[in-house]
Structure 1
Amino acid sequence: MTAYIIRRLFATLPVMAVVALFVFFLLRLAPGDPAAIIAGDDATTEAIEAVRMKLGLDRPLVEQFVVWVWALLQGDLGVSIFSNLPVTRLMAQRVEPTIALTLSTLVVAVSLAIPIGVVAAWKARKLVDRVVMGFAVLGFAMPVFVLAYVLIYFFAVQWQLLPVQGYQPMSAGLWPFVESLILPSVALGVTYMALIARITRASMLEVLQQDYIRTANAKGLATDRVLLLHALKNASVPIVTVIGIGIALLISGVVITETVFNIPGLGRLTVDAVLKRDYPIVQGLILVFAGVKVVVNLIIDISYAFLDPRIRY
Structure 2
Amino acid sequence: MTAYILRRLLATLPVMAVVAVFVFFLLRIAPGDPAAIIAGEDATREAIEAVRAKLGLDRPILEQFALWLWRLAQGDLGVSIFSNLPVTRLIGQRLEPTVALTLSTLLVAVALAIPIGVVAAWQVRKLADRLVMIFAVLGFAVPGFLAAYVLIYIFAVQLQWLPVQGYRPIAEGLWPFVEGLILPSVALGVTYMALIARITRASMLEVLSQDYIRTANSKGLATRRVLLLHALKNAAVPIVTVIGIGIALLISGVVITETVFNIPGLGRLTVDAVLKRDYPIVQGLILVFAAVKVLVNLVIDISYAFLDPRIRY
1:140 is displaced (CA, Å) by 1.4
Q: Which residue of 2 aligns with 1:114?
A: 114
Please identify, of 151-160 and 254-263, the stretch whose mean Cα deviation from structure 2 is larger. Answer: 151-160
Deviations 1:204-263 (A, max 9, x none): 000000000000000000000000000000000000000000000000000110011000
Letter in 1 for 2:200: T
Paired position in structure 2 for 1:190: 190
Instruction: Give the equivalent residue in structure 1 for 2:29.
Output: 29
Provide the identity percentage.
86
Asked whether 1:300 is paired with 2:304, we answer: no
1:310 — aligned with what?
Answer: 310
Query: Structure 1 stretches (4+) deviating beyond 4 angstroms?
Result: none
Match of 2:2 in 1: 2
Letter in 2 for 1:194: A
Counterpart in the other structure of 2:133: 133
- How far apart, in 2, do the equivalents of 1:118 and 1:170 lie? 34
Q: Which amino acid aligns with 2:216?
A: A
2:123 is equivalent to residue 123 of structure 1: yes
Output the TM-score relative to the length of structure 2.
0.99
Shift of 1:154: 1.1
Residue 31 of structure 1: CA displacement? 1.2
Superposition deviation, residue 266 in structure 1: 0.5
For residues 104-253 of structure 1, what are the structure 2 equivalents within 5 Å?
Answer: 104-253=104-253
Displacement of 1:108: 0.2
Q: Paired residue for 1:43?
A: 43
Q: Which residue of 1 aligns with 2:66?
A: 66
Which amino acid in the other structure matches residue 191 of structure 1? T
* Distance (whole Å) between structure 1 residues aligned to residue 282 and residue 189 of structure 2: 25
Q: Does 1:94 align with 2:91?
A: no
Question: Residues of 1 paired with 2:309 and 2:223: CA distance?
Answer: 27
Q: TM-score, normalised by structure 1?
A: 0.99
Tell me, in whole angstroms, the C-alpha distance in 2 between the residues paired with 1:162 and 1:36. 43
Q: Partner amino acid for 1:139?
A: G
SS of alignment partner, residue 163 of structure 2:
coil
Return the alpha-carbon distance in structure 1 between the equivalents of residues 20 and 224 of structure 2: 48
Shift of 1:153: 1.0
* Unpaired runs of at least 5, structure 2: none
Structure 1 position 99, deviation (Å):
0.4
Partner Cα distance (1:226, 1:312) in 2:
26
SS at match of 1:311: coil
One-letter code of the match for 2:169? P
Deviation at 1:21, TM superposition (A): 0.3
RMSD: 0.5
- Counterpart secondary structure, 1:221: coil
**Matched residue, 2:275:** 275
In structure 2, C-alpha distance between the alignment counterparts of 1:58 and 1:149, rounded to whole Å: 44
The one-letter code sitting in structure 2 at the alignment partner of 1:268 is R
Deviation at 1:141, TM superposition (A): 1.6
Q: What residue number does 1:291 align with?
A: 291
Cα deviation, residue 158, structure 1: 1.4
